[in-house]
Amino acid sequence: MKIFDAISKYGHEQVVFCHEQATGLRAVIAIHNTICGPALGGCRMWPFESEEEAIADAMRLSRGMTYKNAAAGLNLGGGKAVIIGDPNKDKSEALFRAFGRFVQSLGGRYITAEDVGTSVEDMEYIKMETDYVAGLPMQFGGSGDPSPFTALGTYEGIRASVKYHLKKDSLKGIRVAIQGVGHVGYYLCEMLHEAGAELIVTDIFEDKVEKVVNEFGAKAVQGDEIYAVDAEVFAPCALGAIVNDDTIGRMKFKIIAGGANNQLLDEEIHGKKLKEKNILYAPDYLINAGGVTNVFFEVINEYSKDRVTKKVKNIYNILMEVYQIAEKENITTAEAAARLAEKRLNLIRNVHQNYLR
């Protein structure tokens, strides 16, 4: 891998290699863009098969965070860190504290958080060495569980999609198929039920399904059956890559709007296939931005549930704008979301440049 070629291709500002002999720490911190604010993005721990894979992951994910934060209107840039190692056997206090010292050395250009393979406990070790860690539990001065806000943003995104595509102001009687009723899925079911929607759900854990069946009158289906049910909306809240050639062929949905990350197997190919089938797709990184919005208010030391709620509800308007751009330009909604993010980045870049002149 030619690192500077990759940095220049994706436009990263800084890629930091972190190594500590004593703890065996090998980590990469990728700061993609700090135009909107400090680069925020989780720290992933994974037994990568190669160093190239680790670097590529950090670079790809940090770039995604730039777009997500910019499109969501947050004053945050995009960053991501990866620690090379097996989260089941290579974790230690010393390792995370060593990582925390590297984060601190960047002076706030990068703010870390929990991600795949890392936990709240790991963040507490990191916190011992740096001020630049977010998404901590409330008792540690953090913003706590982000899932209720991720669910609220997803709910608002479903409302916007139904309004735009089905021309309906209410969710009453709208059938929503929800894949995964864990943290986000459960709260989403609660809000949809209150709004009068009919729920069809699936999860690999029977007890989670039973809970939403009993509490919200949801209808349960088994596994893959969810892709073919009769419903207006499909809300993926479990896995990534579930929108692919195979599943699109089975879908009768009019809208895909859910909280899961990386829903399209291939953003370009499957984004286009959905457009051809006239299925409106709410870009995942926008509709699920409620969680990062919650963290944003923690980062700026101005946390209040009311402010988070107001900002998260604005996901409705952002999605409306994205749908209008997509229709006007005849592009996919994923492309439209990227354009919206780039428009904001360019605007702020110009302000910076004019200021420096």
CA dist 8 and 12 (Å) reads 7
CA dist 203 and 181 (Å) reads 6
Helix 305-313 with 290-299: angle, nearest 10 deg: 140
Q: Say whether residue 147 binds ligand NAD (CB under 6 A).
A: yes
CA dist 208 and 201 (Å) reads 10
> Which residue, 3 or 239, is less far from ligand NAD as judged by CB?
239
Supply the minimum distance, in Å, between the C-beta of residue 160 and ligand NAD: 18
- 2, 9, 68, 80: the active-site residue: 80
Q: Say whether residue 205 binds ligand NAD (CB under 6 A).
A: yes
Is residue 314 left, alpha or beta, with left meaning phi > 0 and alpha meaning psi from -120 to 50? Answer: alpha
Interface positions, 262-301, toward ligand NAD (CB under 6 A): 288, 291
Supply the minimum distance, in Å, between the C-beta of residue 116 and ligand NAD: 8
Supply the minimum distance, in Å, between the C-beta of residue 54 and ligand NAD: 20
Candidate list 1, 138, 239, 269; residue touching ligand NAD; CB under 6 A: 239
Which H or E run includes 190? Answer: helix 183-194
CA dist 338 and 345 (Å) reads 10
Candidate list 259, 295, 323, 326; residue touching ligand NAD; CB under 6 A: 259
CA dist 185 and 212 (Å) reads 10
Q: Say whether residue 1 binds ligand NAD (CB under 6 A).
A: no
> Which residue, 76 or 98, is less far from ligand NAD as judged by CB?
76
First to last CA, the chain: 37
Which stretch in 21-29, 83-91, 155-163, 174-182 sits in contact with ligand NAD by CB under 6 A? Answer: 174-182
CA dist 332 and 272 (Å) reads 6
Residue 80 among the catalytic residues: yes
Q: Say whether residue 118 binds ligand NAD (CB under 6 A).
A: no
**Residue 339 near residue 68 (C-beta atoms within 8 A):** no
> Which residue, 208 or 307, is less far from ligand NAD as judged by CB?
208
Look up residue 127 and give its amino acid: K
One DSSP character per residue, 292-340 reads HHHHHHHHTT---HHHHHHHHHTHHHHHHHHHHHHHHHT--HHHHHHHH
Which stretch in 9-17, 54-62, 163-171, 231-239 sits in contact with ligand NAD by CB under 6 A? Answer: 231-239
Q: Say whether residue 78 binds ligand NAD (CB under 6 A).
A: no
**Residue 225 near residue 202 (C-beta atoms within 8 A):** yes
Supply the minimum distance, in Å, between the C-beta of residue 187 and ligand NAD: 8
Which stretch in 9-17, 80-88, 253-261, 271-279 sits in contact with ligand NAD by CB under 6 A? Answer: 253-261
Q: Say whether residue 237 binds ligand NAD (CB under 6 A).
A: yes
Q: Say whether residue 66 binds ligand NAD (CB under 6 A).
A: no
CA dist 190 and 184 (Å) reads 10
Candidate list 24, 87, 108, 182; residue touching ligand NAD; CB under 6 A: 182
**Partners of residue 45 on adjacent β-strands:** 83
Q: Say whether residue 105 binds ligand NAD (CB under 6 A).
A: no
Structure tokens at 159: 């409302």
Q: Say whether residue 183 binds ligand NAD (CB under 6 A).
A: yes
> Which residue, 15 or 178, is less far from ligand NAD as judged by CB?
178
Give catalytic residues, as residue numbers: 80
Q: What is the binding site for ligand NAD (CB under 6 A)?
A: 146-147, 150, 179-185, 202-205, 208, 237-239, 259-261, 288, 291
